[in-house]
Amino acid sequence: MSILTDISEALQKGRAKQIKVLVPQALEEGIPAKQILEEGLLAGMSVVGEKFKNNEVFVPEVLVAARAMNVGAELLKPELAEAGVSAKGKVCIGTVKGDLHDIGKNLVRMMFEGKGLEVIDLGVDVAPEAFVQAAVEHGCQIIACSALLTTTMPAMAEVVKAAQAAGIRDKVKIMIGGAPVTQEFCDSIGADAYTPDAAAAAEKAVALLAG
């Protein structure tokens, strides 16, 4: 059995201690961080997601898997960052109001940091006004919103409206993403960019700042 399968299985069982041993071991074996993330950690989380959907596992099991996922992703962070990048701009990021999912948001934050962006992480369940207030306070050029639930996606439209109401809409770019989010939805709410994954989000942020 490969070490990537071991990582996937440890994640499915929520064994953070095992993840702490296996991820550095995989790096030592020369497996690229991206491959460890995708074929180890995310592969495991995808099995958990499927079982969650089918009522084969429940919130407590998913929570421990999520904790193990965050531990593993943190271990990969230095490897995912690009060497020698200098600060290129500021972003405030958060998961929208009513939504507690933070794994994808944390990955996007890591990829942003890897591209040399300064990131203000507002956490989860972030009110639209809080995104705007943080952008003003910290002088962010980008507001980045994550949502994992179809029921919380509309909060992204509220962020766009809050930025308009605060008179900063022409000064900030609003990026959105998360499993249920689409380009069509992005267009419909007047956000500036939708990207399907964390790596694409970081590329897009750099392009938006350059443009």
Binding site for ligand B1M (CB under 6 A): 42, 45-46, 48-49, 52-53, 59, 62-63, 66, 98-105, 107-108, 144-146, 148-151, 175-180, 195, 197-198, 201
Q: Of 30 and 120, which has the nearer Cβ to ligand B1M?
A: 120
As a whole number of angstroms, the distance between CA 87 and CA 182 comes to 29
CA 176 vs. chain centroid, Å, equals: 10
Q: Of 84 and 210, which has the nearer Cβ to ligand B1M?
A: 210
Q: Of 29 and 63, which has the nearer Cβ to ligand B1M?
A: 63
Parallel/antiparallel/unpaired status of strands 117-121 and 89-95: parallel
Min separation Cβ 11 and ligand B1M, Å: 11
Min separation Cβ 141 and ligand B1M, Å: 14
Q: Of 99 and 158, which has the nearer Cβ to ligand B1M?
A: 99
Min separation Cβ 85 and ligand B1M, Å: 19
Min separation Cβ 194 and ligand B1M, Å: 7
| List of residues 6+ apart from 87 with CB closer than 8 A | 116, 117, 118
